[in-house]
Chain A
Amino acid sequence: AQKVTQAQTEISVVEKEDVTLDCVYETRDTTYYLFWYKQPPSGELVFLIRRNSFDEQNEISGRYSWNFQKSTSSFNFTITASQVVDSAVYFCALSGLIQGAQKLVFGQGTRLTINP
């Protein structure tokens, strides 16, 4: 079964702190894709990153970085020097074959609050 677990329901930190959002996935596929999306209070899901299962290199984009570890089935997301504008719900997702079709399976999301 395809499953994504984001164990942290809510995280609250003070501005400028670093924060890591955890994502653990389950899949039997050998080829799969992992995603992170941000949902600010406005409601729109904003795409952040897509990773395929064969590329285990870590990725850095400005203050954002992602650590993909196949050995532990994890795809964690770190925000360095957090800012108030980073406050949002963050979703990790897995593209997998479910009932004969490729579907996107989302975690439950982590609500991140950055306090000034």
Chain B
Amino acid sequence: DVKVTQSSRYLVKRTGEKVFLECVQDMDHENMFWYRQDPGLGLRLIYFSYDVKMKEKGDIPEGYSVSREKKERFSLILESASTNQTSMYLCASSFQTLTDTQYFGPGTRLTVL
């Protein structure tokens, strides 16, 4: 069974804080992804990574950065959180090619006050 875990289910932070969202997968997947999900806007890709230390911008990378130092871990960083980054954040991983099935973690609901 594929397992993708995220460090927190709920997180509350203040404007201007640096925020780290962690994602870990245990299936030796090459690719990892970060999405945010907002009502009416659906799921939007923030960043993805197809290898350790590699990263690619998705559709909405502004205000975010990522880190992938180990194959199993992909971190999303909000350098200076803002209220418009209040959202549900979903991490996913896929085996090898970018057309392989993406398996999702439970999500982190982030509120920025």
Contact = CB atoms under 8 A, between A and B. Distances in A.
Contacts of B42: 91, 106-109
Interface stretch (B18-26, B68-76, B102-110): B102-110
Interface stretch (A12-20, A43-51, A60-68): A43-51
Interface string B2-44: 0000000100000000000000000000000100000010110
24 contacts: A32-B99, A35-B101, A35-B102, A42-B106, A43-B90, A43-B107, A44-B104, A44-B105, A46-B104, A47-B101, A50-B101, A91-B42, A91-B43, A95-B98, A102-B97, A102-B98, A102-B99, A103-B45, A104-B45, A106-B42, A106-B43, A107-B42, A108-B42, A109-B42
A101 B97 CA distance: 11
Interface residues of B, number: 22
B56 A101 contact: yes
Interface string B87-100: 01010100001110
Given A101-B56, A103-B45, 7 more contacts: A37-B104, A43-B107, A45-B90, A45-B92, A95-B98, A104-B45, A109-B42
A35 B58 CA distance: 19
A45 B105 CA distance: 7
A103 B106 contact: no
Contacts of B33: 104
A33 B99 contact: yes
Interface residues of A, number: 21
A44 B43 contact: no
B99 A43 contact: no
A43 B101 contact: no
B98 A44 contact: no
Nearest to A52: B99
Interface in A66-116: 91, 95, 101-104, 106-109
